[in-house]
């Protein structure tokens, strides 16, 4: 179909006069959609969402990310321009529970094609060390009855959002993102389907590499500053001991430090992991006190020049290597 045939001659002449020559550069019916380049204007909240949008959207999408590379995403604040620009998006991909500021702004933007990745898989509660209430372990139980009646906000507060670090859950999210893009932009459904399949195949291969790579190890316990690896640990039979909590900048309590000391001794853990986007002071002090090594385990909340790989798949592979080394893989 030639889209120009549907446009009155006067309008075409006007568009050309205004320099909107992209109309003629577009090959098919997609000229009517999205921005002036005919691409679907996608806004992603932070790197793991960006990667999905780019891989699955391919050449049919133009992706903007709210979290700049190198910024710690959890306490991101949006500029008025970012908040205002959200309502111009054709499609928003975010993960509720990671960035409160984004959750609010997305809700207010009211964009029809808004996809919450948390709804495309199942979230779990990984205990008090991933919650916001360190040292208040009883709190959740006391208020448990409220959750039963569907006070969604309170229930979600205890749920761990770091699903992208489990290749299996991430693949589930990828499937859902693919379907939602097919719906948002049906003209390119076949390509979205194809790209989704290719990505899921890669994620399955990554899952197999983790499964076999972590099968036989001297210890199953790893210590990390940022408790981002709960789903990964569960998937591959490991135990994550988080020094602080979900907020990588939080200072651990002296009691938690004591606990980590005994855990490290009992589990024969060798390494204290820290991440690239947050301070490594706590990890280094603790490792020194315990006579352990330090290493980098990247929660993939952003990609920078310092990341141990150019994209999600590469960094996940280097995380696997780091885990194998720390756990004594045979």
Q: What residue ranges bind Zn ion (CB under 5 A)?
A: 228
CB distance 8 to 57 below 8 Å = no
| Residue 310 CB-density burial (10 A; 0-12 exposed, 13-18 middle, 19+ buried) | exposed
For residue 226, the minimal CB distance to Zn ion (Å) is 6
Tokens (6 digits) for 297: 């385990």
Tokens 């301070």 belong to: 279
Name the residue with the smallest CB distance to Zn ion: 228
For residue 228, the minimal CB distance to Zn ion (Å) is 4
For residue 169, the minimal CB distance to Zn ion (Å) is 15
For residue 102, the minimal CB distance to Zn ion (Å) is 13
Q: Of the two residues 115 and 228, which places its CB atom closer to Zn ion in the complex?
A: 228
Q: Of the two residues 210 and 231, which places its CB atom closer to Zn ion in the complex?
A: 231
The answer for residues whose C-beta is within 8 angstroms of residue 154's C-beta and 6 or more apart is 143, 146, 147
Q: Are strands 239-242 and 221-224 parallel, antiparallel or unpaired?
A: parallel
Give a three-class secondary structure readout of 312-326: HHHHHHHHHHHHHHH
For residue 105, the minimal CB distance to Zn ion (Å) is 19
Q: Of the two residues 48 and 176, which places its CB atom closer to Zn ion in the complex?
A: 48
- Edge-to-edge strand list for the sheet holding 221-224: 239-242, 221-224, 271-274, 293-296
Q: Of the two residues 123 and 228, which places its CB atom closer to Zn ion in the complex?
A: 228
For residue 97, the minimal CB distance to Zn ion (Å) is 10
Q: Of the two residues 90 and 166, which places its CB atom closer to Zn ion in the complex?
A: 166
H or E element at residue 178: helix 167-184
CA dihedral sign of residues 46, 245, 170, 165 = positive
Q: Of the two residues 66 and 200, which places its CB atom closer to Zn ion in the complex?
A: 66
CA dihedral sign of residues 159, 160, 164, 165 = negative
């Amino acid at each position: 179909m030639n889209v120009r045939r549907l446009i009155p001659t006067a309008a075409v002449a006007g568009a050309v006069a205004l320099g909107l020559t992209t109309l003629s550069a577009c090959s098919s019916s997609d000229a009517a959609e999205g921005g002036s380049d005919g691409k679907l204007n996608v806004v992603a909240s932070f790197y793991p969402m960006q990667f999905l949008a780019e891989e699955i959207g391919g050449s049919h999408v133009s992706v903007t990310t709210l979290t700049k590379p190198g910024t710690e995403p959890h306490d991101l604040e949006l500029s008025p321009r970012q908040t205002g620009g959200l309502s111009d998006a054709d499609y928003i991909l975010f993960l509720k529970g990671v960035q409160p500021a984004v959750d609010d702004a997305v809700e207010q933007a009211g964009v029809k094609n808004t996809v919450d990745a948390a709804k495309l898989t199942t979230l779990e509660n990984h205990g008090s060390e991933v919650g916001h209430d360190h040292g208040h372990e009883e709190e959740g139980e006391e208020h448990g009855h409220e959750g039963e009646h569907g006070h969604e906000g309170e229930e979600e507060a205890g749920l761990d959002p770091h699903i992208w670090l489990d290749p299996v859950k991430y693949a589930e999210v990828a499937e859902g993102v693919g379907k939602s893009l097919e719906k948002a932009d049906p003209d390119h459904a076949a390509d979205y389907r194809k790209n989704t399949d290719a990505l899921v195949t890669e994620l399955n291969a990554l899952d197999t590499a983790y499964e076999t790579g972590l099968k036989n190890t001297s210890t199953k316990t790893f210590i990390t500053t940022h408790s981002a690896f709960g789903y990964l640990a569960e998937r591959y039979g490991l135990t994550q001991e988080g020094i602080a909590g979900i907020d990588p900048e939080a200072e651990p309590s002296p009691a938690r430090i004591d606990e980590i000391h005994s855990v490290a001794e009992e589990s024969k853990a060798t390494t204290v992991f820290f991440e690239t986007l947050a301070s490594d002071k706590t990890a280094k002090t603790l490792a020194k006190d315990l006579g352990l090594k330090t290493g980098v385990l990247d929660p993939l909340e952003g990609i920078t020049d310092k990341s141990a790989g150019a994209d999600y798949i590469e960094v996940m592979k280097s995380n696997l290597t780091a885990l194998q080394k720390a756990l004594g893989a045979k």
